[in-house]
Chain A
Amino acid sequence: VEIGTIIFSLGCFPSQADLLDFIAEVEEDHSGYVHLDRFLPAMTKVLLENKFPPIHEDVLLQAFEVLDKEQKGYLEPEELTMYMTQEGEPFTQEEVDEMLTAHADREDHRIYYKDILSQMTTDCGL
């Protein structure tokens, strides 16, 4: 989890499988620890090769539109939970809860993804 946090925060977007590969590469005999001496070269390589390129906002918007089959402009919380926990690289319950409490509309609990996208991209300071 910690390694994932570091890699993500460096602006990379690896998949969970990529992440496991990366950790396997640098981990010290399955100790659960990673030595900085091994991490740094591996990480530098990843960054230089731009292995896990960022996802463009437009692509994200398209992704949401794919899920929003009726083109309502929002997703019901149940829809989002279903997609996020059953498709792709499933979210844990904690991740879904956080996403819903933080980003669903206060009144109707829907997820207006366009607003969220613009709000979150500015919030990161990027």
Chain B
Amino acid sequence: VLLKLFEALEELLIPSYYAAVLIQRWYRRYRARLEMRRRYTWNIFQSIEYAGEQDQLQLSSFFSFMLDNFTSLNENGPDLISQLLDPVVDPWLDRETCYNLIPVPESYIGPRISFPLSVSDTNTLLNAFKEQQTLHARYVLQLLYETKKLLKQMPNIIHLSTSYTKEITICGDLHGRLDDLLLIFYKNGLPSAETPYVFNGDFVDRGKKSVEVVILLFAYLLLYPDNMHLNRGNHEDHIMNLRYGFTKEVTQKYKTHGREILQLFQDVFSLLPVATVIDGKILIVHGGISDQTDLDFLGSIDRHKVKSALRLPKHSLEQLDIGQSSRQAKRLRSADGSRPSSSSRSCSKSQRTPSHSRQDSSASISSSSSSSSSSSSLCSPRTPSCLSPRAYPTSPSMPCSINVLQVPFLDSLSSLPLPSPSQHEQEWKQIVDVLWSDPKTQEGCSPNTFRGGGCYFGPDVTQRLLLQHGLQLLIRSHECKQEGYELCHSGQVITIFSASNYYEEGSNRGAYIKLGRELVPRFYQYQVSRTTRKLTLTQRVRAAEGSALRALKEKLFAHRSELMAGFQQYDDNCTGIISVSEWAQVLESVLRLDLPWRTLRPQLARLAPDGSVEYQSCFQDMGTGIPLPQVTPNLAETLFRYRTDIEIIFNIIDKDHSGLISIEEFRHTWRLFSAHLGVDIDDRAIDDLARSIDFNKDGSIDFTEFLEAFRVVHKLDQGSANQ
């Protein structure tokens, strides 16, 4: 009887056991696939983000170069740029009470505050910002003056102690996300003597509410100077703000006093402390450290002098110029090899040849440094002309050194075999390293080639610095992490990031740290969400993947002619089809994004039945915003690629932010810029272009409209809801 029962049971149970196993296995595989997709999506966002930082470095080095070398030119280019880089302080601004001259009209319905600030003022601000109101320029200016006065008295490194308070809260990047800041305040309490905060930089840029975020932070700083602490981030930098949105946001919100406000922000940013130390045991900086970071030296610097990390000290630029010419030689050599597949390799090889002893040391440093998987292909900065010298012959009208002006990884300075750097440069490097560096898992310290600035520091570098100063832990921000925080270097380094949904709705959580007297960090995670329903993993991955791929396709489109030239090298019979590895090689050598191209292939191109790639399909489904028949394909592609750079330059020229510049200014800027890029476009083409976009023939150009024509449009998306 027992046996029979057992058999019956077996029949009943076993099939469902196996059925369950099957389903579980299948479902786990499905999840694994999703996880892969999530990761490469992350890679795409990050690669494109860092490529943007490199572009900005290149652009500002171009400004610096023009400024330092061509100030004698009697043209308006460098003067305009000098205004941007080394603003002459408006005497009007220096008068302490200038804001009193700005009347606040009766009709103003936004928040009104009075100084010195009280709790009711900060509450007023909080509530007003929740209601989407804007603070009047008069108050903004006064708040910035007060903040500046306060910050001037602060040291570079703030020392805090947990013995006076219960716990200290540490937050990472906010990037203009007011919702995240409000959520932190809601969950953790408003700043006060009982709830002290450290905000670790990158308050502004990217998000739409940078002004509100930074005003709230400054207001609490004024209210509780002993309990509110702000470290400078790499985005508290007026040149970064040009690309990443803060400048634009301020000029849009403050049509009349935008310029004064921006200048004051610039000043205030450069006065922010750069590091915080808790109980002598925990170091908090925005980016990280390098093997040259010395806290005593860092503490002694006049930090105000470093207005922007992107503004190289003059002395170093002269050195770089020398470096540039040998770089060009290298580039020409690698071009001899003409097959694009070999170019990334040959770049590094030729750098190592004895004939270029100058470059030798820097090359070996950068190549030994690069981690085995990533960035090894980034032996030189992304150079538009590196791979296709024929497509962009150097312009004969400009001296050679301008044509090849590329930037400088901020760190390559130290690796140039030149007499010891000046005091100013050393000071500058101390600050840049602290604001820009990222940790890496390999030992050693190397230039951060992926971002183009700062260092990668290994566990040994961390260990040494901690030991040297008797510290236990380094807390830094600067990198978006999926969970909002991450530990590395055996727990000696913590990354904390407080902007949730940074890349895309659902892409990551935000987090903050609480530290009590025992100095054991506790993490609190959160995620701002527009919808009340929780998105499933599938939905989140799909949404993020879609927008990552769109961004990536735009990159492909902007490099179309280079890519096509590369593809055709492999396609001897003009079949339109090349093998997957050839396709992947061309993409990586042109774009240098260090992405898993093979994995991405089905998403980016159509495949032939045998699995090879129909390469023309990479550019399908995309077109231009407004068709401009007058533009040659070469010019058009350049405009696509440097759209952001050009917009920044236009905005600088357009001092009154009218959105209009004169044809003469347009022509002039374009000439300088194309010389910088090494793009040969003859003056007639520029003139034709300028005339054709002066739609109403009044001699000025509406450049917003102009740039609209050079936005990559995804044809499939047109008219869809997310436009």
Contacts and interface: CB of A to CB of B under 8 A. Distances in A.
A108 interface: no
Interface of B: 15-33, 35-36, 534, 536-539, 602
B19 A124 contact: no
A48 interface: no
A105 interface: no
Q: Report which residue of B15, B30, B534 has the largest number of chain A beta carbons within 10 angstroms of its beta carbon.
A: B30
A34 B73 CA distance: 61
Given A15-B25, A99-B27, A102-B538, A88 B20 contact: yes
Contact of A88 (B21, B30, B539): B21
A120 B26 CA distance: 10
A65 B602 CA distance: 33
Interface residues of A, number: 35
Nearest to A101: B536
Contacts of A87: 16-17, 19-21
A31 to B, nearest CB: 13
A66 B16 CA distance: 6
Interface of A: 4-9, 11-15, 55, 59-60, 62-64, 66-67, 83-84, 87-91, 95, 98-99, 101-102, 120, 123-125
A125 B542 CA distance: 12
B25 A14 contact: yes
A67 B32 contact: no
A50 to B, nearest CB: 15
A102 B22 contact: no
A102 B537 contact: yes
A113 to B, nearest CB: 9
B26 A124 contact: no
Contact of B31 (A7, A13, A90, A95): A95
Contacts of A62: 19
A35 to B, nearest CB: 12
Contacts of B22: 55, 59-60, 63
A9 to B, nearest CB: 4
A89 B26 contact: no
Contacts of B32: 4-9
Nearest to B599: A9
A84 B537 contact: no
A63 B18 contact: yes
A13 B27 contact: no
26 contacts: A5-B32, A5-B36, A8-B31, A9-B36, A11-B29, A59-B22, A62-B19, A63-B20, A66-B18, A67-B19, A67-B20, A67-B23, A83-B16, A83-B19, A83-B20, A83-B23, A87-B20, A87-B21, A89-B20, A91-B24, A95-B31, A98-B536, A98-B537, A99-B27, A101-B536, A102-B536
A42 B20 CA distance: 28
B500 to A, nearest CB: 19
Contacts of A67: 16, 19-20, 23
B19 A64 contact: yes
Nearest to A125: B602
A22 to B, nearest CB: 14
Nearest to A91: B24
A15 B17 CA distance: 13
Given A8-B33, A11-B29, A14-B25, 10 more contacts: A4-B32, A5-B35, A15-B21, A55-B26, A62-B19, A88-B19, A88-B21, A90-B24, A98-B536, A102-B538
B27 A95 contact: yes
Closest 3 CB pairs of A and B: A8-B32, A88-B20, A87-B20
Nearest to B372: A36
A64 to B, nearest CB: 7
A66 B15 contact: yes
A100 B15 CA distance: 22
Contact of A89 (B15, B16, B24): B24
B24 A124 contact: no
A89 B33 contact: no
A112 B20 CA distance: 16
